[in-house]
Amino acid sequence: MTALEKAWYQGGIWLWLLAPLALLFYLVSALRRWCYRTGLKKSHKVGATVIVVGNITVGGSGKTPLVIRLCQWLKQQGYHPGVVSRGYGGKAPAYPYTVLPDSDAATVGDEPVLMRQHLGCPLVVDPDRVRGAAYLVEKHHCNVILCDDGLQHYRLARDLEILVMDGERRLGNGHLLPMGPLREGKWRLSTVDFVVVNGGIAAPGEHLMSLETGQLVNLKYPSKTQPLSALKKPAIALAGIGNPQRFFNLLRHRQVKLKETRVYADHYAFKAGDIPDDLVLMTEKDAVKCRAFASSQWWYLPVSAKLTEQFKQQLLERIHGL
């Protein structure tokens, strides 16, 4: 975590030096929202129910496991969902680009590769989410589109908005970028359809989501798994995600002995030589970028989202009412 990020969540009076920039950020974003609200800029419908899953803070909040679980659940309800993602960190040869099980993270981004390994539905990446969503409807005949991130991508008309919040860090100091971690103000919580809190304690009107861990999976030999409790020696834990400390805390909570923790930038593109040939534990998001040069001593810990029955029932009712 950088000094700026620490100040967002732990305090720092020097952040007030950034107040003029935060004011400028507010004016630019407010003007942009006003343009969409008045019709100067147009939001586009794509002929399917669009559910945007996003956040208003910088950094990881748990959107990816929620999108995966929602897709699985929607299929069980008889829908034909599809996912559109910006594909951050990837450089596809053309867009829209359909993500396949063997797609490379350098082409489509790490989160789309992770999602595709768990989804039995179409997934496309496209910086133009309207174009990507329309492609899912036209080419894959999806009747529900889940937009991974994009809460501030107002060009894509949406039917429902789900805001995901880190239950431990929540909104930090409550200030806009760069004075705080917010992309939009606290007021946004009252305009979305659902607020899902990842861990911690849900306030009235919010829905709690928890992350359940699976068994460790070997990077080099994916068919080889083991429980965390089977580890016999201290491990090196690494994470290149939005909130690395959450991963480290999870391991320690499960009584895993760590001799070292290594923090990398979110979406960091790992390469051979970055990681020692030692007992290493990492997230699944990091693992998809290390498959080509994996060691048999490297393991990743998959997680899955658990949702409340109340949230699923309310979401289903809202979809049926559209």
User: Would you list which residues are annotated within the binding site?
Assistant: 57-64
Phi-psi region of 174 (alpha: psi -120 to 50; beta: other; left: phi over 0): left
Task: Give the helix/strand (H/E) hosting 115.
Answer: helix 110-116
Residue 54: count of CB within 10 angstroms of its CB: 22
The contacts of residue 170 (CB under 8 Å, 6+ apart) are: 200
C-alpha to C-alpha distance for 94 and 260, rounded to whole angstroms: 40
N-terminal to C-terminal alpha carbon distance within the chain: 42
- Which residue from 262, 247, 243 is spatially nearest to 59, judged by alpha carbons? 243
> DSSP letter string over 141-180?
--SEEEEES-TT-TTB--SEEEEEEETTTTTTT-PBTTTS
Backbone angles phi, psi at 141, to 5 degrees: 55, 40
Asked if 290 and 114 touch (Cβ cutoff 8 Å), the reply is no
Map tokens 């999870």 to a residue: 250
C-alpha to C-alpha distance for 136 and 124, rounded to whole angstroms: 7
Burial grade of 5 (CB within 10 A; 0-12, 13-18, 19 or more): middle
Backbone angles phi, psi at 116, to 5 degrees: -60, -30
Annotated binding-site residues for ATP read: 57-64
